[in-house]
Structure 1
Amino acid sequence: MGWDYVLVHVCWTIPAALLLGCLHWPLRTKRDAFKINVLIAIAVVSTIPWDSYLIRTKVWSYPPDRVLGPTIFAIPAEELFFFVIQTYITATWYSLISKPVIHATLVKKSKFWWTGSTAQIWSINAIVGFMIVRRGGPAAYMGLILLWAAPFLSFLSFMSYPHFSSMPMYVTWTSVLVPTAYLWLVDSLALSHGTWKIEDGTKLGFSLWGNFDVEEATFFLLTNMLIVYGLVAVDHACAIIDAFPKLFPEVRAYKTPPFMSLVKALLIPPARYPISELDNLKDAVTVLQRHSKSFHFASMFFPDSCRIWLLSLYAFARVTDDLVDDPVDAETAIANVKNLRQYIDHVYSPDYPNKPLATASLKGNFPATAHPALSLLPTLSLHLPKRSFHDLVDGYESDLKFLPIRDSSSRSSLIDSLPIKSEADLITYCRRVASSVGEMVAACTWISSDPSQVPRDKKEKRWILDRASDMGVALQLVNIARDIVADARDGRVYIPLEWFQSSDFHQRLLEDPSDTSLLPQLRETALRFVKLAWGYYESSQSALDKLPPECRHGSRIAIEVYLDIGREIERRGGDVRTRTVTSRWSKMRTVVKILYGP
């Protein structure tokens, strides 16, 4: 009886698992827990017969004075624990670094041509392993590794290699290589201390360093590949379910998909995928990446199903906003607002399943570039109220009041045309353009969560939505503060006239936004917007704790990352002559503070 193998876990594997577990805990979702637990179960069940055979046939051994003694099928208890802890370490590491990946956007219409080739390569390796084992001799251990691991890798490659190869390499190969390198270190130390031993005559005798045999290096590399391939296969199946929910009516968005639904997803021929829905989602992600890096960054901290809803909603809001802001003339902008109302009414019509009016409205009234984002509305309409979308369009209609200024060749004496006369007008505008989105974001967290986590009391629900409305106002005020100069160049000034009644500040800002003599008033105005934002932010913070648990961190990060722009404006003393942005490191500091702070 000895404690050497136990000490390997105490000193190396358990600390690594605890560190990764603590880092992952705030981000851990039910789906993450499901993946990790399933992979651990599969790893234990599939490895026990193989490991037991190696021990019984004296390929490797554990000196009695190095282990505690209890065994199962001749396998020491410490070794069984190694199966669990290795899988947990690799799976948790993968779950952490794969958070940025939106798996549903990686689903392919058809499998890559090399999918079968990759599976065949692993099948050939399995045959080679079988031949080596039959022959015996010094290559026996390597043959047994290939004979055991290659068939699993062949199967997983056939099912999910397209998804694996579509993922960023920093995710896939870092997921494999980082745990592998760490476990190589642990294994080489254990071998040097005699904690376990590969018997002579069953190994090639080639070492990477010291007494660390090439077979051990291959074993840990292939086992970690098995774990990562298995995780990717589950993510691939979940991605198909998330992207095409109509094909899986038995799956609820807030639940972990049943195991048989995952199998069904992997077995569906890619030719059956409703690819237009997938293209719309991919375009939504592209819109988000281009127009809002902060929100795209924050979206990774939401559960996958909720993230898809939020991406779809943001893309719809972003593109429809551009339909009003970007047209070359006022007539087109006005027509787009009218057509948006009509399109929303058609989608929400009881006759929508027939879709002729909605389809005609979409194709006949909007540019082709807007079709993917607008096509997301039918899915959003299943759970979000029509009123919220009409409120959003009301906000766009408010922007139409700036058209006379934007289209005027001379901006002198246009003060009376400014629609924002008072602070009350400003808040009304913010509620129209942003509060509606805030309320819909709150609703998206409810859609994708367990009903038991959603408030049932109507008054409480209304209170949460009102606070979400306030948060929308806060974010919009920060947005206005950041873009004062850019908006003025476009003929839009959201600064209430009553703030500068006794000066010609508004007129001078419209005529020349780059006038350096305006800097004192610009600083004062930007800081005033941000200060006003803080008031609405403070009034709405308490509602975040009422959101479903899995969505709270994502919501806080999305809000705080954007409000960091307001903090940066304050740090600059209100100087908004250049567009205020925050760095990636600043975003990461905010994330760490929210996830791991007191």
Structure 2
Amino acid sequence: MLTYMEVHLYYTLPVLGLLLLLQRPFYSAQERIKFLFLSGVAFSTAVPWDNYIVYHRSWSYCPKCVTLVIGYVPLEEYMFFLIMTLMTVAFANLVMRWRLPTFYLKSNLSSFNAACLRYIPILAFLTVGVKAWFAAIPDTPLFYGACILWYVCPVLALLWFGAGEYICRRWKSVSVSILIPTLYLCWVDKVAIHAGTWHISERTSTRKMIAPNLPLEEAMFFLMINIVLVFATCAIDRAFAILHLYRRGSSAQTQKIHYSQCQQSFWGTMLDLTKAFCLSHQQLDHQPLDDLKTTWNILEEGSASFYTASSVFPVNSRQDLGVLYAFCRATDDLADNESVPVNQRKRQLKLVRNFIVDLFTQKSDSASSIDWSPYLDLPADCLASFRSFVRLRHVLQVDAVIELLDGYTWDLERRPVLNESDLKRYSECVASSVGEMCTRVLMHSNRHQTSNTTMDKATLAWTVDRAREMGLVLQYTNIARDIVTDSQQLHRCYLPLTWLDDNKAEIDLIKTGRARHLGDERLRALALRLVQAADDLNSRAQRGISKLPFECQGGVRAACAVYRAIGRALKKADGYPMRAHVKGWERAWIAVQTVYGIDFLAPSSSSITTPLIQKPRRTKVCSFLVE
């Protein structure tokens, strides 16, 4: 005999625990709202419905197999309402989190086609629901199946109204999110029915079996409820995406969903989500969507590593980090495009400086309120990244952005790194500034999600300082790894000239692309000097990660761990490789075990490879962001 509680202990709770464990590093306020809201709705609606069908003896349970009966339903059944909801929503979160929901907001349908796609399925759902209501006659073969349909169809009609087009665009991940939990729960149901834990009445069902001991109505129940849960997950994701993208817009469309930037209650958030839920795709301003897509193309083409690594961050953080990256990459390309004369590149960088000064002076958070005519000479993708970057104005400090532009100027003017002071200053420009901006983005994007985000100015300043130190750690490691590559491809020396021989022989070798002639031992000694400087800063810099929102800490630690692995690889290498890097599989494993806090399982980080074909290198700013 298999008791109902044993069904949970053996089959449902372990799977739920595993899913929640897998999702734990990515758990954020958005997921919390899904779990709380959907669990509440599922429980409050399923309780009367299930009591109703048990009262009419659609299914029954073995009295010896349950712990307690409340009303007409066992305690374990009430538990099942919550377990199934949490299980399906957690699985859907894991399946669908790898692509930004914002990418599915733009509609290319005409108003007529969009209306048909929106309202015809709604009409069908409501028609089926009404027919099912009248067909749900107790003690008839259609009773159980009809009760399922009138229970779910009105909900499906409502969810389709708010997210139908979005669901269609995500049909692959939606299908997987529905089918896998449905198949698993059908199997569990089959086991329980075979063991006699509960029984489906033959009087109120069609007696058709999908598989041995699996009635058609039971399979339909799990399928329809999972459709509702996954559709609801999509609807919440879509509403959050609209709120985040248009939160400070001033167009007619975005004014409809304007909401306060201050701390909101749960019900205040739900009200904002309801407003966004009711908007159709055709009511949204497409310019921010187009610009975001362009910025993401810059990210995807410029750095597969960064694009993949960003997926471990919460959706809002990932989107804003992508916008920040695209701005850095687009502006870096302006400074680094060798096909454009130096004087023209300097003029373009001056335009960028003017844009930043104007942006932070007029304090505009909406791209539509900015006069773009002075910047039309810049490339189209650069302008798109600028329009997206405007939304980060209230998050960032102008000094950090100007500092980054100073780094571009340093490279464009080919200024040498004369001494350790220059090394630190250059690294601050190209890396510490980025670390500061990333930290401010993470803190702001998740300001409602954990208590860690509510901090005084002194603590925030301390955290930013640690981020700037981490920027130095990563940049020193980056320079140590790329001495030969920078020499061969850029004819640049980012080592302090005071570290090299006074007779300038070593300087000339590096600047003429012949750094390899210094010999492995000399190159290794120079690289390890940089790695040691990075190690000296690392322990203090790492302390700042604990002040970040919890759901962002794993991703930051993973990125830092990969760079530390590069430093360890350089220390363990025999000689000096052309360009040391950790193998792809090992980099992925380091990221996974760091995100899930299983550092003790890390493989040896001594793998060094020398690519036979190297991708063209650009400035150190680009390298820092890409790698």
Q: Secondary structure of the residue that 1:421 maps to in structure 2? A: coil
In 2: Cα distance, 1:300 partner to 1:422 partner: 38
Name the counterpart of 2:259: 250
TM-score normalised per structure 2 = 0.84
Name the counterpart of 2:129: 126
Residue 381 of structure 1: which of 393, 396, 401 is its match? Answer: 393
Q: Secondary structure of the residue that 1:93 maps to in structure 2? A: helix
Distance change in 2, residues 1:569/1:227 (3 Å):
farther
In 1: Cα distance, 2:368 partner to 2:389 partner: 12
Please tell me whether residue 259 in structure 1 is matched to residue 256 in structure 2.
no
Q: How many residues align?
A: 579
Please tell me whether residue 536 in structure 1 is matched to residue 533 in structure 2.
no
- Code of the aligned partner of 2:100: I
Q: Which moved more, 1:37-46 or 1:555-564?
A: 555-564
Name the counterpart of 2:624: none
In 1: Cα distance, 2:572 partner to 2:306 partner: 22
In 1: Cα distance, 2:370 partner to 2:120 partner: 47
In 2: Cα distance, 1:119 partner to 1:579 partner: 58
In 1: Cα distance, 2:74 partner to 2:191 partner: 19
Unaligned runs of at least 5 residues, structure 2 = 249-253, 600-627
Distance change in 2, residues 1:158/1:513 (3 Å):
farther
Name the counterpart of 1:405: none
CA shift, 1:144, in A, is 2.8
In 2: Cα distance, 1:75 partner to 1:303 partner: 38
In 2: Cα distance, 1:168 partner to 1:291 partner: 28
- Code of the aligned partner of 2:102: A
Name the counterpart of 1:406: none
- Code of the aligned partner of 2:360: Y
CA shift, 1:520, in A, is 4.7
Identity, in percent, stands at 29
Please tell me whether residue 156 in structure 1 is matched to residue 171 in structure 2.
no
Distance change in 2, residues 1:254/1:22 (3 Å):
farther
Query: Does the CA-based 8 Å contact 1:110-1:270 persist in structure 2?
Result: no
- Code of the aligned partner of 1:556: R
Please tell me whether residue 25 in structure 1 is matched to residue 24 in structure 2.
yes
Please tell me whether residue 359 in structure 1 is matched to residue 372 in structure 2.
yes
CA shift, 1:541, in A, is 0.9
CA shift, 1:12, in A, is 1.8
Q: How does 1:31-430 map to 2 (within 5 A)?
A: 31-72=30-71, 74-109=72-107, 114-123=117-126, 125-126=128-129, 129-130=132-133, 132-133=135-136, 137-167=140-170, 169=172, 171-246=173-248, 247=254, 248-252=257-261, 258-328=269-339, 329-350=341-362, 358-364=371-377, 366-402=378-414, 419-430=416-427
In 1: Cα distance, 2:7 partner to 2:538 partner: 50
In 2: Cα distance, 1:596 partner to 1:138 partner: 53
CA shift, 1:452, in A, is 6.0
CA shift, 1:243, in A, is 1.0
Query: Does the CA-based 8 Å contact 1:346-1:357 persist in structure 2?
Result: no
In 2: Cα distance, 1:98 partner to 1:355 partner: 31
CA shift, 1:220, in A, is 1.0
- Code of the aligned partner of 1:384: L
Query: Does the CA-based 8 Å contact 1:346-1:358 persist in structure 2?
Result: no
Query: Does the CA-based 8 Å contact 2:2-2:195 persist in structure 1?
Result: no
CA shift, 1:419, in A, is 0.6
Query: Does the CA-based 8 Å contact 1:312-1:373 persist in structure 2?
Result: yes
Distance change in 2, residues 1:532/1:162 (3 Å):
farther
Distance change in 2, residues 1:284/1:23 (3 Å):
same
Q: Deviations over 1:137-166 (max 9, x none)?
A: 434433332332233223212321222233
Name the counterpart of 1:441: 438
Q: How does 1:448-597 map to 2 (within 5 A)?
A: 448=445, 449-450=447-448, 453-454=452-453, 457-488=456-487, 489-501=489-501, 504-513=505-514, 518-570=519-571, 572-573=573-574, 575-578=576-579, 580=581, 582-583=583-584, 586-597=587-598
Q: Deviations over 1:74-118 (max 9, x none)?
A: 222221111111111111222233332322232224665644444
CA shift, 1:49, in A, is 3.0
Q: Secondary structure of the residue that 2:376 maps to in structure 1? A: helix
- Code of the aligned partner of 2:96: S
In 1: Cα distance, 2:101 partner to 2:263 partner: 17
Unaligned runs of at least 5 residues, structure 1 = 403-417
- Code of the aligned partner of 1:80: Y
Query: Does the CA-based 8 Å contact 1:553-1:595 persist in structure 2?
Result: yes
CA shift, 1:503, in A, is 6.5
Distance change in 2, residues 1:461/1:198 (3 Å):
closer
Query: Does the CA-based 8 Å contact 2:56-2:138 persist in structure 1?
Result: no
Query: Does the CA-based 8 Å contact 1:481-1:530 persist in structure 2?
Result: yes
Distance change in 2, residues 1:261/1:62 (3 Å):
same
In 2: Cα distance, 1:340 partner to 1:511 partner: 31
Q: Secondary structure of the residue that 2:210 maps to in structure 1? A: strand
CA shift, 1:371, in A, is 0.8
